[in-house]
Every structure is written in C-alpha cells, then in structure tokens.
Structure 1
Amino acid sequence: MAAPHNATVPGTPQSLARSRPRYGEQAIKAVLMVAALLSVATTIGIVVSLLEPTISFFGEISAVEFFTSTSWGPLFEPPHYGVLPLVSATLITTGIAIVVAVPLGLGAAIYLSEYAKPKVRKVFKPMLEVLAGIPTVVFGFFALTFVTPLLRSIMPFKIEIFNALCAGLVVGFMIIPIVASLSEDAMAAVPNGLREGSYALGASKMTTSLRVVLPAAFSGIVAAVILAISRGVGETMIVFIAGGGQPNFTLDVGKAMQTMAAFIAQAGSGDVPVGTTEYNTIFAVGSLLFVMTFAMNFVSVRLVRRFREVYE
C-alpha cells in the first residue's frame, strides 16, 4: 500500500525548520537591532558634539598649558586653563569612593551569594539596590548636612565645610549597589560543581567563597568595579554640593576641590557667552572626561575577556 502524500518515510530525518515564517521573532530582532543602532548613534552624536568646540578651544589655548598647568580659572581675569586641579580632584574623590565601595560591595555580594538564604536574599538585594534609585542631589545634601559635620567632629585634622573627603565617601556609598549587585550576579553564575568540589576536599564555606567562587567570578567583579569607577568619575551633584567649587591643586582631602563634572555643571549653568573660549572649556573638559571613561571601559573589556577564558 502506498504511503500518504504528507506521511514521513521511516528512516528519513525530519526537517527542524518551521513551515511558516516567525513574524513575531523577526519583529523582535528588528526592535533589538534598532535599539543597538540607537546606542551606537548616541555615542557617535556625543563625540561629534564635543569634537568641534574642543578643536576650536585648542586652536586658541595651548595643549601644553591645558595638560601641565596647575592653575585653573577660565572664568576669571586673567584666565588660566590648566586642567590638572580638576583631574586630580576627580581622581582623589573617585579613589576615596572606590576604597569605600569595593570592600563593602564585595562583602555584601559574598554574603548574598554564599551565605544568605533565598528568602533573605530576595529581601536584602532589592533593599540594597534602592540606594541606586536615590537622586544624587539628595546624597549631596546628606553629605553637606550630616556627613561633613560628623567628620568635622571626629577627624583629628582640619576639615573645611566643603571638602573632597566627604564627597568621596558619599559617592562611595552611592556606587555600592553597582559593585554589590553585579558582583553577586557574577558569583551566582559560578557552577555549583566548583563549590561542591571544594567542600569535598574539606574546605570551609569561607575558604570556598574567597579561594574558589571569588576567583571564578573575577571577570564579572572586575567589570562591576570598572563600571563603578566610571560612575564615580562622572558623578556631578554630590561633588558639586559637598566638594565645593574651588579648583585647588592639592592632596589635602580636607579642603574644597572641584572635579571635572562639577566644573561642567557650574560653567554650563552660568551666563558664559556661546562660542567664546570660556564656553568651549566646557567641551574640552567634557572631551577629556569622555576619553578617561572610554579608556577605563576599554581596559575593563580587555580584563574581562582575559580572565573569562581561564574559567570557561
């Protein structure tokens, strides 16, 4: 008896392809492609908007003066265009923030990933991430009205009302959720087989967490830390309110400092005429900030790729 026309002959592999096109899947792919293109276009737009004023600025101001002078005052008379005070203040406040955020963030991540019960994790992790949703201007006033008076009362050295130490500490608390959440995700992705092998050899939970899970999740932790650094470098309102607006070239964290982001906020909100050299300083500093952030993210990608290959 002949087989029906649509029947499958025994021994013949069936095709895995669908007989009808998946229009919904094609639509989703198109939406994702548009989102990716918009992200790239936004980055290109930022570069283009910064490029022309920056070139115009360096056509009038020497790059040697801009990168080597320790005097910054483009809105004063006579003007000074040495960006080192802004760069040093940015690095100092970010360094203080990282000293605060990395130990606390990693400690929280290890607890949530290795020690906390599922019910506790479901409660504590959203509570920790709430910090990321608090407006930075609120952090700024908290630093000015609470943290600074506290530091002035307990620190043995003199601390001014506006100071880099307070700004860096509060920026550190602000970026803790970035370090903690992303690091916890990286640790949770570590295969349980590594933990079980460590326990089988007699290792304790602490030893397993620090010597097995932490190294295995190192690439994700590095990415979390670099992202937190980038967030700290670009922070504006906290350093603008609590750090002061004085571009001092000093290592004394008890004095007022002005970061690059704080200068952009201050100069951009003033009455500087458009097209002048003073106005173009905003774009020159913004370009330098963009290059620094891009360099950190580039290093992050290289580190993540390098260490991810070890554990795959």
Structure 2
Amino acid sequence: MTIDQALQINIKKLNQKRIDRPDLEAELLLASVLKQDRVFLLAHGEKKLTICQRLKYRHLIAKKINPWPTAYLTGHQEFFGLDFNVNNRTLIPRPETELLVESALKIIPNNSPTEIIEVGTGSGCIIISVARNNPNPQTNYQAIEISRGAIKMARQNAQRHGLDKTIKFTLGSLLTPISSKNFSNSLIILANLPYLTPDQFTTSPSIQREPQSALISGVDGLDLYRELLQQVTRINAKDITLIMEIDPAQPPIITQLAKKYWPNSKTEVLKDFCGQDRIMIIKIK
C-alpha cells in the first residue's frame, strides 16, 4: 500500500465517522507515523508503507475515530509558531490562547527589569512562547504548576526550545510558592487556569479526553481565579499586571472582584478571533 492509497482509504473512514477535516487529520497521523511533515506525503505519494507503518497508522486511525485528540496521538501541537510536546496530562494548546501571548508581549517593558510568572503552566507553551519572542533581556521567568506530570512536560519543552536555563519551573499551587516574596520590579502574572463549569465540560465532546483538572473550576468556573486574585493581594511589587484567559461570560464577575480588591485598578477585555471576550487584563499600581 502506498502513501496515496493509505490516505484515500483513511480519509474515507474518518469522513464516514464525521470527523472534522478528515483529510487534514489523516495526513497528520500518517506524517507522525513516518516522522515526516505533510509536504513529504504530497511529494512521495507513490512510496510504499512497511507493514509496521501500516499497523501503526491503522492503530492511530482507530483511536482517532474513538475519538482521541490528534495532538495526543501524535504527541505534538503547534502554538505561536513553535512545536510543543503534549500528552494527556496537559491541556492541548489552542489558537485563542495565542492572544494571551500577544497581549503579554505588548505589555512587557522594553528596557526595564521585569518579572514574569505563569501559574498553571501545563505544557509550558505560554511562557516559552513569551520568552522566545520577548526582546527585553532584563526579564526573569518563572512557571508554576501543581501537576508533576505536566511540569515534567513543560521542562522538556523548555529544553527543546533552549530555554531550560531561562525559565524556572516550580511545583506548587497558583502563587503559593512565592506568596512571601517581594518584587522590586514590575510583575506580570500570566494565567490560563481552568474556567469551565461541569455542564460546559459535559456538553463538549471534543474535550472529553483532556484532563478535567485542567478545564473545570467549580460551579461557575471561577474557583481558581477567585483564589488567584486573593493571593495577588498578598504580593508586593512595583506594579502588577494580570493577563488571564477566561470564558466570555466571566468578565463582569472578575471586574467586580478586581474593584473589590483594588479600587483603582484598570481592567481591559480583549476579544478572540470569533469575537468572544477571551482575555482579561487587570493593571494594579
């Protein structure tokens, strides 16, 4: 069986099971088996697959139909122009989260010392993308994660992108590891914490294979963000900026909390590519 024949057969299978973009999914899975990119498939359609390759491909197609996220099957996901290792201990990086990275890069001062801390780093894709694209050499980076499996993956990704000496990874819950620390510089806190409700998780088939602990946060999805904001009140820094990914329904409640803790704080909400409120920025002087 050739590459072209394998693709034709399995695109048809995925299409029959109503898998979105069956041609793309079939190509990504076969490229993973061959350890090549999709361009290779197009250029070498006549190349015959070995028995081992055919069996591996069949296995991945079966899991995709099950359905498993493609990123978990290939072990990779692209984010902000970089390739990241992922597994079922980490949330799969999503395009809308790139807006969080873009927002951070716009806010980071050009030439003054800055501390950047990400809570709930998961695969590390956010802080690694920021560190790779931030031109300010006077920036210190720290990533905090409660899951040992996730922080192991984040460290691997940092090493892969040459940032294992640049980013300090710390095991812990939210800001607990730095709760007694004083910062003389500007502090930027990045957070893409779980923000879904149990009902949202249950009614979203596409995320059923991802870790619930990385998605659900209490009845209204805000338990962890409430805890984070309370912890920030105990942090001392020159100034603090929080940049958070949220559910579109949450800005009013988060704004209310921000004004409760910091009456003079400034809040801003940014929309994602679909016009939904997605990123919330709180500036505290």
Return the TM-score normalized by structure 2.
Answer: 0.22
More helix by share: 1
More strand by share: 2
